[in-house]
Amino acid sequence: MIERAMLLAAASLAAAPAVAEVNVYTTRQPVLIEPVMAAFTEETGIDVNLAYIDSGIVERLKAEGARSPADLVMTVDIANLKQIVDADVIQPVNSDALKAHIPAELRDSEDRWFGLTSRARIVYASEDRVADGEVTTYEDLASDKWEGRICTRSGTHNYNLALLSAIIAHHGEEYAKEWAANVRDNLARKPQGNDRAQVRAIWAGECDISLGNTYYMGLMLSDAEQSEWADSVRIVFPEFEDGGTHLNISGIAMTKASPNHDDALMLMEFLASPEAQAIYAEVNHEYPVLPGAQLSELVESWGTFTPDVMDLTTIAEHRAAALRIMEEVNFDG
């Protein structure tokens, strides 16, 4: 009798449908993407398992190889996406929906990665100590008029390396090295903390301007303590002298090993949909990649700007040079 019950139970388990799921390796903090993932699960019934990997994501994927449980990789920087492409651990994705929703300049020409959101690398300027129109270009940050007035996080952080990579793309390595050295000389203190810590330093009177990503303004305003910091600054959209405001993206790619290919593709397409793009805009204060998607009221209040049209892949190709320059000029002190 017991043996018969065990056989029936085994048969029942064998017949049970597999749990629908998608496994995502992400360098983005899960708290930033959990709302949109929850919306996907609610709509489809497919679970999304997030594994936050702060560093070494390429090495992990290469070590796991065909045994990797990861279906998708999400990153916060175009250079990281290029590293994953160069490591040959992802596969191209042929999707009419992704191509329809994501502009060509925000996805790989060979369909290996797709941008999901963008953010501008801007200047936070003191409301009291920096006049309107005093900051206009990235190049101007190297002017000695800013001596002792700039705060920033580490020069070797991805966000600042991406900006310096763009400087190289626009002006060449020699100019970029001089620019980095001059900005270093204009620092009010040794690079430290994150982008919000720089705004706090402006609020505290330690410096007058800082580099930061746009969405941090939204995050600060939603925090009771940090809202006072945010109120002490305004967002300024600098431009390159021969271009526009520097943008970076968060993006996604499908691994070669993807064990849940069809469900993973469904998630990718959902993330580029109007519903998901609206969630990104409202919750994360980022710029949607979907043309015509509605900005949140807060993001819209920051004003308009002209995005730089420099190809993102071209910028990513200069990352190694940017890191070398930051180290050569001893930017972090």
Task: Answer yes or no: is 12 within a domain.
Answer: yes
Range of the structural domain that residue 16 is part of: 2-118+247-297
Q: Which helix (H) or strand (E) holds 74?
A: strand 72-75
User: Tell me, what CATH number does 54's domain have?
Assistant: 3.40.190.10
Strand partners, 210: 124, 151
Question: Residue 29 has what pLDDT?
Answer: 82
With bands split at pLDDT 50, 70 and 90, how would you rate the model's confidence at 55? confident
Distance CA 178, CA 166 (A): 14
206 with 253, same domain? Answer: no
With bands split at pLDDT 50, 70 and 90, how would you rate the model's confidence at 2? very low
Question: Residue 73 has what pLDDT?
Answer: 97
Establish how many alpha carbons lie within 13 A of residue 66's alpha carbon, considering only the half-sphere containing its beta carbon.
0
277 with 291, same domain? Answer: yes
With bands split at pLDDT 50, 70 and 90, how would you rate the model's confidence at 4? very low
With bands split at pLDDT 50, 70 and 90, how would you rate the model's confidence at 32? confident
Question: Residue 1 has what pLDDT?
Answer: 43
Distance CA 155, CA 331 (A): 6
204 with 264, same domain? Answer: no
Q: What is the mean pLDDT of residues 10-28?
A: 69
Task: Answer yes or no: is 333 within a domain.
Answer: no
72 with 164, same domain? Answer: no
Question: Residue 299 has what pLDDT?
Answer: 93
pTM of the prediction?
0.87
Q: Which of 235, 252, 220 is nearest to 76 (CA)?
A: 252
258 with 218, same domain? Answer: no
**Percent above pLDDT 70 for the chain:** 94
Q: What is the pLDDT of residues 117-158, one digit of tens each?
A: 999 999 999 999 999 999 999 999 999 999 999 999 999 999
Q: What is the pLDDT of residues 208-245, one digit of tens each?
A: 999 999 999 999 999 999 999 999 999 999 999 999 99
The DSSP bridge pattern shows strands 209-213 and 47-52 to be unpaired
**Percent above pLDDT 90 for the chain:** 88
- How many structural domains does the chain have? 2
Question: Residue 18 has what pLDDT?
Answer: 61
The residue ranking higher by pLDDT, 17 or 76, is 76
